Amino acid sequence: MGNAFGVRLWRAPAKINLSLHILGRRLDGYHELESVVAFSGFGDMLGFTPADELGLDVEGPTAVEAGPSEDNLVIKAARALAARAPGLRLGRFSLRKVLPVAAGIGGGSSDAAAALRALAHLNGISLDDPRLIEAAAATGADVPVCLQPRARVMAGIGDRIGAPLDLPPLPSLLVNPGIPTPTPRVFAALGLERGAAANFGPAVDFAHAAGWLAALRAARNDLQPAALKVAPEISEALERLASLPGALLTRMSGSGATCFAVFEDRATLMRGTREIKAQRPGWWARPTYLR
């Protein structure tokens, strides 16, 4: 997508963990997981213009929370790819930041993946090029699954990405009470020792479940109890979503604090959105379809 000024625009949609099962903690400290992820119909927007030097400008409602430009994952991703692809043509990025930060929806990771897609397009690099995938993994655990934002299963430490899933569009409401939940704090609250296996419950066999909704209802987010210790306000978001007419499934995404509810149709989704906005006008709330 582009505009009249020749700036190419790249979407960076929110990543939603429909399920998140923690399998254990490795000796190196990383947690093994299995998660079904989907992507929203909205998100941040990244502009890109080829230039001799790498640069980034950030604006938008959550630009301040995103931190200094030099620490942004967009810059980190570009440098990671440049280190693996000598002679890489670079450019200047302009990021419009609308997704909440430290919110469990992979905003920074999706921004970084959009930057990698932009650089790949400019340099004739395919999205399955090992250099691009390595640069994504070096940037962050959630970046590889955001490179081609379609519903998938991600596993391991985010390094094993499954084929696209035949997931129907899910009418969903995303809600964030405005409480940042940094991922390291949530994993610390989980309390798994290095080398320990988790015992939060059995895995869900999505392939043989009686439909997606049944499979997702049988799943869970193992980080949710830990996140509630860090940010107890998440419980109110979950309770309010679960009480909305037409809400079929309610869960927290990632390490929080963003929560989601899946609705039976668009009408109940929009009715639920109006109710949440009336009840808690200060909350971030966005209706969307997860795909």
Residue 171's alpha-carbon distances to 29, 75, 267, 280, in angstroms, are 36, 33, 9, 21
- Report how far residue 267's alpha carbon sits from residue 199's, in angstroms, rounded to the nearest whole number: 39
- Separation CA 7–CA 193 (nearest Å): 48
In this structure, are residues 131 and 23 in contact, taking their beta carbons and an 8 Å threshold? no
Active site residue 15: yes
Q: Give the whole-angstrom CA distance, residue 220 versus residue 86.
A: 43
Give the pairing of strands 152-156 and 170-176: unpaired
Letter string b/e over residues 85-99, b meaning 16 or more CB atoms within 10 A of that residue's CB: beebebbbbbbbbbb
Active-site choice (15, 44, 76, 97)? 15
Helical ranges in the chain per DSSP H: 63-66, 73-84, 107-123, 130-139, 143-146, 183-190, 212-218, 224-230, 234-242, 266-279
Token pair belonging to 145: 């699954």
**CA 129-10-132 angle, 5° bins:** 15
Among residues 76, 97, 111, 142, which one is catalytic? 142
Active site residue 142: yes
Cα–Cα distance measured from residue 252 to residue 16, given in angstroms and rounded to the nearest whole number = 9
Cite the active site residues.
15, 142
